[in-house]
Amino acid sequence: MIPLRRLYPLAAFLGGFVWDALTIGQRVRVVDFWRLGAFLLGAAVLIHFLARRDVRQASAPSTGDGWRERLVDLRWQAPHLLLQFFFGGIFSALFILYFKSSGHLGTWLMAAFLCTLLIANEFSGRAFGQRFSLIWALFALNATLLFNFALPHAAGSLNPWWFYVSTVASVALTHLLWRLAPGRPGRILPSWCLGGALLLAWNFDMVAPVPLVKQDLAVGHAFVQDAGRYMLQVERAPSWQLWRDQSPTVRLLEGEKLYGVSAVFAPLGVAATLEHRWEVREPNGWREVYRNRFQATGGRERGFRGYSWVSNPQAGEWRFIVATQDGRTIGIVSAHVERGMPSPEDLALREF
């Protein structure tokens, strides 16, 4: 049987993740930045407390089966548990948004990599407080996740250079805390390596284009814009394809238009130029058919909306891409276009 104390960090992590999935899930408000900033400050204080305890060479209490021994053990583990909760709180709030904005294989792989780094220490138990190299790396990662959202929001700009500034600032802050920590436990080099890996991934379009968050994306028929409402007719996915919100096949009549609609969330005060791209697969690869750019302004909870279309698309494989002006992918919808008319019971109306 796994000792109960081994489950403390995991319980803290899952608690923070579930809470933020319910309270944030799709957007970040100014108050969330302050709350997550308080978590980061609390983590810094706890790391210094653990470093001071390590310098004093305080030893863990002996284990026992009695409730007094368990209470003493829980008190010893409490700083680890609270630190794990702070890390989990920041991670869960922002990882949800990073994952939601992952629109292709590269960003999904990076999201999985970030998730692995955060979960790797969940069962560290007693050794958690002694693995300071890991703690510093996790602090740098959490600070980077937060600063990647907070700094562009504060500046009201989505200039790609903000990712470089926020990443370097996060690792530099971690380095400063390491230098100020009693005894300077652990190594700081892994934190710099992690920051370098994130910058490299950003250059290869493997990091979601935060602080933009993909809200909704669809292709279909008969788009209608009326009184501020965007409505699109889509074909339902087969009942057994629970992971899809629309059919991968779109049936169009000769001369009909294929519409694409997107909703992308950006924090209040942030403006960005987005683009829609339509591409068709040909024997030599994907060919761009149409590109449309438009201005997005943040603040709307359901996301800033945009739409575009291609007239009388040829039968075959198509993809509808939403991206930033500098080409960073926000989301992709693939569709197989066929000639024909869908049955009325296969159609559904989606509002954006």
Q: Which residue has the higher pLDDT, 95 or 44?
A: 44
Residue 61 has pLDDT above 60, yes or no: no
Tell whether the torsion through CA atoms of 218, 102, 10 and 75 is positive or negative. Answer: negative
For residues 108-131, give the mean pLDDT: 62
CB distance 296 to 272 below 8 Å: yes
Q: What is the pLDDT of residue 64?
A: 57
Residue 68 has pLDDT above 90, yes or no: no
User: 213-244 pLDDT, tens per residue?
Assistant: 788 899 999 899 888 789 999 999 888 887 78
Q: What is the pLDDT of residue 265?
A: 79
125 C-beta neighbours (distance < 10 Å), count: 17
CB distance 164 to 148 below 8 Å: no
The three-point CA angle 139-142-211 to 5° equals 155
Question: Distance between CA atoms of 291 and 287, rounded to whole angstroms?
Answer: 11
Measure the CA dihedral 188/193/194/197, to 10°. Answer: 170
Amino acid at 67: W
Q: What are phi and psi of 187, to 5 degrees?
A: -120, 145
Span between the terminal Cα atoms of the chain, in Å: 50
The lowest-confidence range among 42-51, 79-88, 242-251 is 79-88
Q: What is the pLDDT of residue 2?
A: 46
Q: What is the pLDDT of residue 13?
A: 57
Amino acid at 254: E
From 195, 330, 182, 176, select the one nearest 266 (Cα to Cα).
330
Domain boundaries, the chain: 4-203, 213-351
3-state secondary structure the chain: CCCHHHHHHHHHHHHHHHHHHHHCCCCCCHHHHHHHHHHHHHHHHHHHHHHHHHHCCCCCCCCCCCHHHHHHHHHHHHHHHHHHHHHHHHHHHHHHHHHHCCCCHHHHHHHHHHHHHHHCCCCCHHHHHHCHHHHHHHHHHHHHHHHHHHHHHHHCCCCCHHHHHHHHHHHHHHHHHHHHCCCCCCCCHHHHHHHHHHHHHHHCCCCCCCCCEEEEEEEEEEEEEECCEEEEEEECCCCCCCCCCCCCEEEECCCCEEEEEEEEECCCCCEEEEEEEEEEEECCEEEEEEEEEEEEECCCCCCEEEEEEEECCCCEEEEEEEEECCCCEEEEEEEEEEECCCCHHHEEEEEC
The lowest-confidence range among 30-34, 133-137, 305-309 is 30-34
Question: Distance between CA atoms of 313 and 65, rounded to whole angstroms?
Answer: 71
Q: What is the pLDDT of residue 17?
A: 57
Q: What is the pLDDT of residue 89?
A: 78
From 129, 136, 210, select the one nearest 171 (Cα to Cα).
136
Question: Distance between CA atoms of 132 and 248, rounded to whole angstroms?
Answer: 48
In CATH, the architecture of 213-351 is Sandwich (2.60)
Residue 19 has pLDDT above 70, yes or no: no
Report which listed range, 20-24, 31-35, 269-273, is most confident.
Answer: 31-35
Mean residue pLDDT across the chain:
81
Structure tokens at 327: 């080409």
For residues 289-297, give the mean pLDDT: 86
